[in-house]
Amino acid sequence: MVLYDACTQEKLTHHNPWKKSPQPIKKVRTVSMISIRSLILCTILLVISLEVKAWHPDDHSRITSLSLESQTDRLLDQQIAYVPLQHFLDRAAAPLGIAPTPLAFALYFGVDPAIPLDLPDSTEQKSGSASARNILIFHVNDPDDGRDATLYARTADGNVQQDAAGRPVPLYDHLFFMGGPETQAYRHMEKPPVSCSRLESTWGYPFGELGMASDQAQRYFTLSRLARAVESPYWEWRFLACAVHYLQDLAQPYHATQMSSHGHYFWRALRVWLMTPHVSLRKSVAQLMQNSHQWYESYVASHSTLVMQGLTDDTRAEAWLVALRGETTDVFPWDTPEAPVRAYAKTIRDASNRIAPDLLTSVYWMSNAQLLSAYPFDYRRDPPDTFLRTRRDLHFMQGESTLFAVTTEAFARAARATRTLVQAALRN
Ligand SMILES: [Zn+2]
């Protein structure tokens, strides 16, 4: 994995501050070197995790699978033959007003044309079909396949457009404030507008909404409806799986807030910058945000896996699975003109935003010094439990208890959103 600085898009070096330097004298910055400009910049920037996955890939499928256990609609278990995207395009290109080619569709939908959008799951490949339920479970991770990264305007042949100075043209305004065009953050996260009553979780520039996860949910739901209308049932369910993905993302509190406005992390990043040679303030802020976000996802995934495999009797982790297996749904806002999924997604976003400060504070108090440093935590390499604080003081105990409780709430919300959207699709 290559990490990029949220502000400059420079590659982050995998500098390990814990490794002994051959330099006998360690350079320590003095407070006089603090650039006021950098401080103000970092306070207003949405500096976020750059490899944004909301839930661990296993968790997206797990949320979908467990949340649908209680749904016994016959249609969910009907077998549907796998067909490539071309099947949908041959029927839907005219209503979409595009040529029936994958490139035209990629340009229309603003996704990277280099990413194949119709790779089958191994089961689909083997048997040639899957149930609607399994299409949802297999493909709920599709939007994390890279299609939403490299958010640049493109020419008719799919190449990235360049401005007069030869620089690539970003697809949206304000991408700079959310990971930049090379990351998928902008489409998988959404910060609500600044609210005086919830300043800590809503603060950030620009002061209105930032990100488009709720738009993405609506766009894929609309495609799913179109696929049904043109009788392409495989794509009806596969596009619905993508819409579900963004709702599940918004149920993850890290995806609905601006981390740099949470005081603990900003001040810790300042300390890391002062104490670590060769690391800029912006990089230290970005790395701490990345570590916190990735560690949380990894910790939740590893404890979910333990409880699924019966390898732990931690009742707090068992409560996550109970929350996922619920039966309830939300009231779907059909009477909202034009975009009910977008409106529904925003209610999920706002609920997640409200619990974000508690979660971020909890993760902070559970993290050891290495996780709160310039060390680049990587979920593929680093076991999350080895980054827990060893001193189990009151802060740690309260943090741990809050993390499990908040995650139970987030899982319950993600599962309810999954059932709600699937039921909305089944009933309409
Ligand atoms: Zn996502």
- The pLDDT tens digits for 46-92 are 444 345 565 666 689 999 999 999 999 999 999 999 999 999 999 99
pLDDT value at 329 more than 50? yes
CA 165 to chain centre: 33
pLDDT-based confidence at 336, cuts 50/70/90?
confident
Q: How many angstroms does the Cα of residue 105 sit away from the middle of ligand 1?
A: 21
What DSSP string describes 166-204? SPBPBSSTTGGGTT-TTSSHHHH-EEPPP-GGGHHHH--
| pTM, to two decimals | 0.85
Q: How many angstroms does the Cα of residue 354 sit away from the middle of ligand 1?
A: 20
Beta-carbon neighbour count of residue 208 at 10 Å? Answer: 11
pLDDT of residue 146: 92
Q: How many angstroms does the Cα of residue 102 sit away from the middle of ligand 1?
A: 22
pLDDT tens digits along 350-397? 999 999 999 999 999 999 999 999 899 998 899 999 999 999 999 999
* Domains of the chain, residue spans: 31-427
pLDDT-based confidence at 331, cuts 50/70/90?
very high
Q: How many angstroms does the Cα of residue 211 sit away from the middle of ligand 1?
A: 12
Determine the Cα–Cα distance for residues 211 and 216; give it in Å rounded to an integer.
10
Residue 162, phi then psi, degrees to nearest 5? -125, 150
pLDDT of residue 44: 40
pLDDT value at 224 more than 50? yes
pLDDT tens digits along 158-171? 999 999 999 999 98
Q: How many angstroms does the Cα of residue 35 sit away from the middle of ligand 1?
A: 34
Q: How many angstroms does the Cα of residue 68 sit away from the middle of ligand 1?
A: 19
Position of tokens 């404890």?
303
